[in-house]
């Protein structure tokens, strides 16, 4: 036994533990997702996501002010339209809910960084992430609409575009269209390894985006697969993705770690609605300590290799950073 090496020396007290801590989180690495819907005077709690709300445009500035004061810097926008159709036209209309949100928010709170989720499921009458033909999502037809949505969001002032549809070749097509329209410097954060997950059910209720028929397994990834995730990630990078994302997070820490080992672009992870609901629900019964579990799970995601975290717990994480728990 080598008596000279004592690992406990570096665990002896809080000061030295903090000094040699390998994983840390800062507030600029957090993105807070928020739901905006048509209407007035709406602040409606999402039943399956305690503490999370849908906001109408007139109520949104109050929420953005709270977030800015807390120290949240980055916002992911999800829109809930009042009209849906077969082609999801509300996603690319200049008077669409996300377009109006961007125009207003860039005026009221220009200090925040706004990321526009780019998908069609909230806007289509059938709830799928693309154009249906013969009951199936037609990949190549959908690409034309994704281009329209990206340009519309860019023109409304999005600071970053985040395609979440999982169509093949979408990143390249969106990148080319944005460049052609003069948005060469607008970054793309690609939902690259987005699994077909049961952890999304709460989000679908919040965004009213559940598919009316079938499921999304023909375009979202099979949760049994690991190598496929790396293939998807590398393809998106080759097509021009500036940041890639793994979604969900907690059940996919192995994917986050492997992606971090493979790539040289920033890596985001989305701790999704089901993860939030599980912690919130268990803490509400007293089975777990919410603050301690949020601290531990957050660190696990960054320790696995994430550079950026999308989380409904952004405000709490900031509090925990200030407490020295993260």
Residues that are catalytic: 194, 247
Q: Report which secondary-structure segment, H or E, holds 74.
A: strand 74-80
Q: How far is CA 239 from the centre of its chain?
A: 20
Rg (the chain; Cα; Å): 20
Q: What is each CA distance from 210 to 81, 123, 314, in whole angstroms? A: 14, 11, 25
Q: How far is CA 86 from the centre of its chain?
A: 25
Instruction: Give the three-class secondary structure for 73.
Output: coil
Please give the DSSP secondary-structure letter assigned to residue 222. Answer: P
Instruction: Give the three-class secondary structure for 21.
Output: coil
Tokens encoding 303:
């320790």
DSSP string, 95-144: TSHHHHHHHHHHHH-TTSEEEEEE-STTTBTT--SS-EETTEE-HHHHHH
Q: What is each CA distance from 75 to 58, 204, 266, in whole angstroms? A: 17, 19, 17
Residues with Cβ < 8 Å from 191, sequence gap 6 or more? 162, 163, 164, 165, 166, 245, 247, 270
DSSP string, 183-211: -TT--BEEEEEEB--GGGHHHHHHHT---
Q: What is each CA distance from 112 to 69, 75, 106, 172, in whole angstroms? A: 11, 7, 8, 27
107 burial (CB, 10 Å; 0-12 / 13-18 / 19+) is exposed
């Amino acid at each position: 036994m080598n008596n000279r090496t004592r690992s406990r020396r570096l665990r002896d007290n809080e000061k030295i533990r903090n000094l040699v801590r390998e994983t840390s989180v800062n507030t600029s690495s957090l993105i807070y997702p928020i739901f905006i819907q048509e209407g007035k005077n709406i602040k409606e709690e999402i039943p399956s996501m305690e503490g999370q709300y849908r906001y109408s445009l007139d109520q949104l500035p109050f929420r953005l002010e709270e977030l800015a004061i807390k120290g949240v810097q980055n916002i992911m926008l999800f829109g809930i339209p009042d009209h849906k159709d077969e082609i999801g036209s509300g996603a690319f209309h200049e008077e669409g809910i996300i377009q109006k949100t961007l125009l207003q928010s860039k005026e009221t709170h220009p200090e925040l960084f706004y990321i526009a989720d780019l998908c069609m499921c909230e806007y289509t009458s059938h709830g799928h992430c693309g154009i249906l033909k013969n009951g199936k999502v037609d990949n190549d037809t959908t690409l034309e609409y994704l281009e329209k949505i990206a340009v519309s969001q860019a023109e409304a002032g999005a600071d970053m575009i985040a395609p979440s549809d999982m169509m093949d070749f979408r990143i390249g097509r969106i990148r080319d269209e944005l460049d052609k329209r003069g948005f060469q410097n607008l970054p793309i954060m690609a939902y690259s390894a987005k699994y077909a997950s049961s952890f999304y059910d709460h989000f679908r209720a919040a965004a009213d985006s559940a598919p009316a028929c079938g499921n999304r397994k023909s375009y979202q990834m099979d949760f049994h697969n690991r190598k496929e995730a790396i293939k998807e990630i590398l393809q998106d990078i080759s097509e021009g993705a500036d940041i890639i994302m793994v979604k969900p997070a907690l059940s996919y820490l192995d994917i986050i770690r492997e992606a971090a080992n493979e790539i040289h672009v920033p890596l985001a992870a989305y701790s999704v609605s089901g993860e939030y609901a599980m912690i919130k629900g268990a803490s509400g019964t007293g089975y777990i300590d919410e603050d301690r579990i949020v601290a531990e799970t957050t660190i696990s995601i960054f320790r696995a290799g994430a550079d950026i975290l999308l989380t409904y717990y952004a405000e709490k994480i900031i509090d925990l950073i200030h407490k020295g728990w993260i």
